[in-house]
């Protein structure tokens, strides 16, 4: 191994990376995602498998730490471009003693190759491209950290979110204004161009790509119209090379942007890159459903309420139980009542992961959660571990609270009709029975109507008026409507 490479790997190179980046890079190194592609005494190239199926190339340039302050340059073809987790994994790969034989063999092979004489290349013709329109790219990322809070003398947890804007011209990404711009090529090399032109060398010509300043200004204005402002505070969520940094005022604004505005940007052709640690990486809920399992001979039924995410049905019951236990301050009746129907609750499904291994996160609108919680009541505490609730037929009236929700219903048509009749039971009209020698007051007629409706629904009930309001008269009227009076008590009815 070259002495310069040994010096770099022995130096405190980890100080050059953010702690979060180091943590992610260590995970990748443990998962053995790195493959050595090419090596020389001062330049090493590796390949790393990303969070999905992407393969990114890392270019590591080494200088003598005893002579240079900036002794290590790390480039990558991933969207972050510089000093990323893939580069950390590559450096850890080089440090691993088990990989030394492979690295030494590659270096020895490179040293045995005869040096080729440097040929003076002829000056290539230059071609100006001034009609290439930029394609905006937005990288979204978050970082969680702790900082000392002087007001209470404690370490306080903080989360910062950032959006980095860059402009793609072919395979190049440009950041900054068109007065002074930093150009980040697809190979990861950075350069500053005072004339705002992107220079690309091919085998046959030199291309000068002119940036479209007015179009870039319009794209920046689109972000401003969505509530974004230029980030004035430094953040380690993304490196400066990712683009111009923007932020939103609060979590509510970020969630609104991801759910409502981000899909429109994608449709307009924006390139969107969401980093794994982004706090608002929300998977859309495709549908809400309700399943009722009932049989005629049973006086109970099973109710399952759920959502469909990535084509998979997920019962809400275990999700809500976990929420109530882990965040009771969010799910108490008073807390839920204070939330507007348009507000969203972020829920992380730890048992349901994305392709990269991170948990799926969904957003549940309070406007839908409220009737669901009202329907379930306190039943979910009694039946832990189940996806469906077992409820008495007498509780069918709770189902009417779900009627205004856009649910896909499966089964339970007869029960839902029964629930509708049950909730409107007091509205059933009734006339005085023949032979009743008495006048019923309006509230007594309502009680008689209620008992008659219970009979039609084949359910029971308790008439619980205050003493002296005529419960006996209402009951006798009900019996008279059901049966002719027996001779032994007929005189008492008159």
Beta carbons within 8 Å of 378's beta carbon, 6+ residues apart: none
Confidence of residue 270 (pLDDT cuts 50, 70, 90): very high
Instruction: Give the whole-angstrom CA distance, residue 176 versus residue 211.
Output: 11
Q: What is the rounded distance in angstroms from the CA atom of residue 43 to the CA atom of residue 38?
A: 8
Query: What is the mean pLDDT of the segment spanning 275-303?
Result: 86
Cα 382 to Cα 23: distance, rounded to the nearest angstrom = 42
Q: What is the DSSP letter of 165?
A: E
SS3 content of the chain, % helix, strand, coil (to 5): 35, 30, 35
Instruction: Give the tens place of pLDDT for each residue, 152-196.
Output: 778 777 889 999 999 999 888 888 876 544 444 443 434 334 347
Distance (Å, whole) CA 110 – CA 179: 42
Reply yes or no on whether the pLDDT at 261 is more than 50.
yes
Q: Which of 447, 413, 441 is nearest to 428 (CA)?
A: 447
Percent of the chain with pLDDT over 70: 87
123, burial (CB in 10 Å: exposed 0-12, middle 13-18, buried 19+): exposed
Report CA torsion sign: 352, 354, 355, 356: negative
- Evaluate whether 283 touches 309 at the Cβ level (below 8 Å): yes
- Which of the four pLDDT bands, split at 50, 70 and 90, describes residue 66? confident
Out of 226-235, 327-336, 361-370, which region has the weakest mean confidence (pLDDT)? Answer: 327-336
3-state secondary structure of 292: strand
Please identify which residue in the block is written with the tokens 């920046």: 220
Spell out the long-range contacts of 173-178 with Cβ–Cβ below 8 A and sequence spacing 24 or more: 173/81, 173/137, 173/243, 174/134, 174/198, 174/211, 175/241, 175/242, 175/243, 175/244, 176/244, 177/213, 177/216, 178/211, 178/213, 178/216
Q: What is the pLDDT of residue 157?
A: 79
Both tokens assigned to 438: 């008495």
Query: Confidence class of residue 111 from pLDDT cuts 50, 70 and 90?
Result: low
User: What percent of the chain lies above the pLDDT cut of 90?
Assistant: 25
The CA distance from 175 to 240, in Å, is 9
Give the pLDDT mean for 60-86: 88
């Amino acid at each position: 191994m070259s002495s310069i490479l040994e010096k770099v790997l022995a130096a405190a190179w980890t100080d050059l990376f953010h702690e979060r980046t180091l943590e992610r890079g260590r995970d990748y190194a443990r998962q053995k995602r790195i493959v050595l592609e090419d090596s020389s005494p001062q330049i090493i190239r590796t390949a790393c498998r990303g969070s999905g199926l992407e393969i990114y190339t890392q270019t590591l340039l080494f200088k003598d730490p005893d002579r240079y302050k900036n002794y290590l340059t790390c480039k990558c073809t991933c969207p972050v471009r510089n000093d990323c987790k893939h580069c950390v994994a590559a450096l850890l790969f080089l440090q691993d003693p088990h990989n030394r034989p492979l690295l030494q063999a590659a270096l020895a092979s490179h040293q045995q190759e005869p040096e080729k004489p440097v040929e003076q290349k002829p000056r290539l013709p230059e071609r100006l491209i001034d009609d290439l329109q930029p394609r905006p790219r937005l990288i979204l990322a978050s970082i969680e950290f702790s900082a000392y809070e002087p007001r209470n003398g404690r370490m306080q947890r903080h989360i910062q979110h950032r959006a980095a804007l860059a402009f793609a011209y072919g395979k190049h990404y440009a950041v900054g204004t068109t007065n002074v711009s930093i150009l980040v090529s697809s190979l990861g090399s950075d350069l500053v161009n005072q004339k705002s032109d992107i220079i690309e060398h091919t085998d046959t010509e030199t291309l000068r790509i002119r940036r479209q300043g007015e179009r870039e200004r319009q794209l920046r204005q689109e972000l401003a119209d969505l509530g974004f402002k230029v980030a004035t505070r430094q953040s380690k969520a993304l490196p400066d090379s990712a683009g111009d940094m923007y932020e939103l005022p609060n979590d509510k604004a970020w969630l609104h942007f991801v759910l409502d505005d981000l899909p429109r940007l994608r449709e307009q052709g924006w390139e969107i890159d969401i980093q794994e640690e982004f706090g608002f990486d929300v998977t859309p809920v495709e549908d809400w459903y309700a399943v009722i399992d009932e049989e005629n001979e049973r006086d109970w039924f099973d109710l399952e309420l759920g959502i469909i995410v990535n084509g998979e049905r997920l019962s809400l019951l275990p999700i809500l139980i976990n929420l109530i236990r882990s965040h009771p301050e969010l799910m108490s009746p008073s807390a839920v009542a204070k939330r507007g129907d348009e507000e969203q609750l972020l829920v992380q499904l730890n048992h349901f992961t994305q392709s990269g291994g991170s948990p799926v996160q969904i957003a549940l609108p309070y406007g839908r959660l409220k009737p669901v919680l009202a329907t379930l009541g306190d039943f979910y505490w009694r039946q832990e571990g189940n996806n469906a609730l077992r409820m008495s037929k007498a509780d069918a009236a709770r189902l009417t609270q779900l009627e205004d929700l856009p649910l896909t219903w499966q089964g339970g048509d007869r029960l839902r009709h029964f629930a509708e009749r049950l909730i409107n039971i007091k509205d059933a009209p009734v006339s005085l029975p023949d032979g009743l020698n008495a006048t019923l007051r309006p509230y007594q007629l309502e009680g008689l109507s209620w008992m008659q409706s219970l009979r039609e629904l084949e359910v029971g009930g308790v008439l619980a008026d205050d003493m002296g309001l005529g419960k006996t008269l209402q009951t006798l009227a009900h019996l008279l409507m059901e049966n002719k009076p027996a001779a032994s008590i007929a005189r008492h009815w008159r």
